[in-house]
Amino acid sequence: MSDQPSILPPDQTIVGALGMEFLGISNGVVKGRIPVTNRILQPLGLVHGGAMLTLAESLASGGTWEGVRHDGNAAMGQEITASLMRPITAGHVNGTATVRKRGRSAWVWDVEITDDDGNLCALVRATIAVRPARS
């Protein structure tokens, strides 16, 4: 058994299934996006709220992992809440996650979801648990 935690390649996870792109991480801010395709729409042709939350949780988890992995820790979603305010129907679902609290056992993030015109479409609060990585 390896000393490294088992990590799946992104293209074999929900990140790949949704076509998620990570656009950068710097100073407690993580950015990413998902292209709007039929696979992320609900039946009325709007981006499904679950796709917006998936982007938000992925950005917050990725940002937390980047901050704790060197200490032998892993990051995983613990709690998420959202206010969905405006639909997205084309272009990209854009996310900007900003860390608000870096705790020993959990990090808290605020995530803004926007459309390609910069309109605020959702506000998300995500708590990401920090736990020892499994070997």
CATH number at 111 reads 3.10.129.10
Give tens-digit pLDDT for 23-74.
999 999 999 999 999 999 999 999 999 999 999 999 999 999 999 999 999 9
Q: Tell me the residue type at 105.
A: S
Domain membership of residue 41 (yes or no) is yes
Predicted pLDDT at 42: 96
Report which of 78, 35, 60, 76 is spatially closest to residue 124, judged by C-alpha positions: 60
Distances in Å between the alpha carbon of 51 and those of 28, 36, 92?
Answer: 23, 10, 11
Instruction: State the residue range of the domain holding 26.
Output: 10-132
Domain membership of residue 20 (yes or no) is yes
Query: Is 7 buried (19+), middle (13-18) or exposed (0-12) by CB count in 10 A?
Result: exposed
Instruction: Give the pLDDT mean for 94-106.
Output: 98
Predicted pLDDT at 6: 56
Domain membership of residue 90 (yes or no) is yes
Domain membership of residue 65 (yes or no) is yes
Count of domains forming the chain? 1
Q: Which helix (H) or strand (E) holds 4?
A: none
Per-residue confidence band for 17, with pLDDT thresholds at 50, 70 and 90: very high
DSSP letter for 47, please: B
Per-residue confidence band for 3, with pLDDT thresholds at 50, 70 and 90: very low
The residues annotated with a catalytic role in the active site are: 57
Against a cut of 0.85, is the pTM above it? Answer: yes
Domain membership of residue 4 (yes or no) is no
